[in-house]
């Protein structure tokens, strides 16, 4: 009888252990998916916020909550025609500080930053300047104007909010899917290490 009870507890422990391992695997896969989710960005959810204004805190917050890296947003601030977003490890129980380092490696930081500024310029009519700050081992800061980003895409970004298919084709599948395109953008517009 004791052997049966011991066997049941051993099987139960093994099952729980394997579920925990699977949970970590899912978490890692979700990070990979989130990092590359620029390709799977939910434009339909974002389009609820088209024609927003910098002064509408809840709409800007709603947009940021859908974008890649949202779990690391410490705070954002809105002033006149500018948005500032700070990304930092927030001490959440389900996210570790090393997750921030893993998530925001060099390549992913560029892709996430370019996607997020592009999306904000597409959806928010009156934003003219965006500053993104990333607090990791080194503080990274990126400040860009609407004109600079529109020059990169060759058009008024607000037009993408009116045509979902064009947004998917020209932004997600063309510019943001190309490492060369992302690198050329950041050669012209550097991320500053402070």
| DSSP notation for 36-88 | TTTTT--HHHHHTTTTB-TT-HHHHHHHHHHSTTGGGEEEEEEETTEEEEEEE
pLDDT at 64: 97
Taking the C-alpha atoms of residue 8 and residue 29, their distance in angstroms, rounded to an integer, is 31
Residue 164 tokens read as: 């979902």
Q: Residue 146: how many CB atoms within 10 A of its CB?
A: 20
Residue 87 tokens read as: 């990304």
Taking the C-alpha atoms of residue 175 and residue 182, their distance in angstroms, rounded to an integer, is 7
Nearest to 191 by CA among 96, 116, 100: 116
Strand locations in the chain (E): 73-79, 82-88, 129-135, 139-145, 192-193
pLDDT at 27: 45
* Beta-strand relationship, 82-88 and 139-145: unpaired
Nearest to 186 by CA among 70, 87, 108: 108
pLDDT at 184: 96
pLDDT at 20: 53
pLDDT at 17: 57
pLDDT in tens, the chain (194 residues): 666 655 555 655 555 555 554 444 434 444 444 444 565 689 999 999 999 999 999 999 999 999 999 989 999 999 999 999 999 987 766 778 888 888 888 889 999 999 999 999 999 999 999 999 999 888 999 999 999 999 999 999 999 999 999 999 999 999 999 999 999 999 999 999 87
pLDDT at 138: 82
Backbone angles phi, psi at 7, to 5 degrees: -65, -40
Q: What is the pTM of this model?
A: 0.80
Mark residue 29 as left, alpha or beta (left: phi above 0; alpha: psi -120 to 50; beta: remaining). Answer: alpha
Is 142 buried (19+), middle (13-18) or exposed (0-12) by CB count in 10 A? buried
Helix or strand or coil: residue 124? strand
Nearest to 153 by CA among 127, 122, 179: 122
pLDDT at 25: 41
């Amino acid at each position: 009888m004791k052997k049966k009870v011991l066997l049941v507890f051993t099987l139960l422990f093994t099952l729980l252990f394997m579920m925990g391992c699977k949970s970590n695997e899912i978490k890692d896969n979700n990070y990979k998916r989130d990092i590359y989710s620029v390709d799977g960005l939910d434009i339909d959810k974002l389009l609820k916020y088209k024609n927003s204004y910098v002064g509408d805190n809840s709409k800007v917050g709603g947009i940021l909550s859908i974008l890649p890296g949202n779990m690391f947003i410490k705070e954002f601030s809105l002033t006149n025609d500018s948005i500032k977003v700070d990304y930092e490890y927030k001490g959440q129980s389900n996210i570790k500080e090393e997750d921030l380092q893993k998530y925001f490696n060099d390549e992913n930081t560029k892709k996430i930053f370019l996607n997020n500024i592009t999306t904000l310029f597409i959806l928010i009519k009156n934003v003219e300047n965006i500053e993104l700050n990333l607090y990791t081992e080194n503080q990274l800061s990126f400040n860009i104007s609407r004109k600079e980003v529109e020059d990169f895409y060759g058009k008024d970004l607000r037009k993408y909010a009116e045509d979902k298919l064009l947004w998917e084709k020209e932004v997600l599948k063309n510019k943001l899917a190309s490492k060369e395109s992302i690198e050329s953008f950041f050669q012209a517009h550097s991320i500053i290490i402070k």
